[in-house]
Amino acid sequence: MRTTARPAPPGVPPLLPADPPTVGGHTLLGRLGTGGMGTVYLGRAADGTLVAVKTLPAGKATDPEARRRFRAEAAYARRVATFCTARVLEDGSDRTRPYIITEYIDGPPLSQVVEHRGALSPDAAVAVGIGVAVALAAIHDAGLIHRDLKPANVLLSRSGPRVIDFGIAVEPDLVNGPTQAGTVMGSPGWIAPERLTGRPVTPAADVFCWGCLVA
């Protein structure tokens, strides 16, 4: 049975000259986002399915700590209920150029919606706030602290908000392990006070970020 390839959604930024044309057998179509923990591309699988392809920056591919974090990101995302995040389809975090393939969530990030359209209506804000709270509960039930909840990491899909990017997520028992002394990982403006002052970090840190997001 032959599958018709789906076209790339409009508005997806094009690839840059230095970007690879394919990753893990998936054809790259454009850029969905980039950050310190990697670049996320829109890709197309052999059967035409659209996927999200996250790669570790080339400069970090030989960094043992960066690779360890990338492997943990894939493992953590797989532990979370798929109704509230992007399902991991393939874990290539052990490859020479590490990558993670997840389902493509057809919906804009909350940050983009607010930037282009302004504040949400009261009803929409309540719906998003509740949806993100449910997603956080599922993340915490999986034994994780997200640590990077912000509008850019909330996708507004047709089925409700999805919380993505477990690049700096951690298990409570390991919260003081992966980060070097004196280093606070996260996005300025979205970091709970206890993380800045070196106090123990619990799921309450995510609740603080949720309050900021709703506000």
The residue annotated as part of the active site, out of 91, 123, 148, 206, is 148
CA nearest to 192, candidates 214, 211, 177, 167: 211
Report the Cα–Cα distance between both ends of the chain, in Å, rounded: 49
Q: How far apart are CA 38 and CA 170, in angstroms?
A: 17
B/e letters for 61-77, b = 16+ CB within 10 Å, e = fewer, are eeeeebbebbbbbbebb
CA nearest to 213, candidates 111, 82, 140: 111
Active-site residue flag, 94: no
Which of the residues are catalytic? Answer: 148
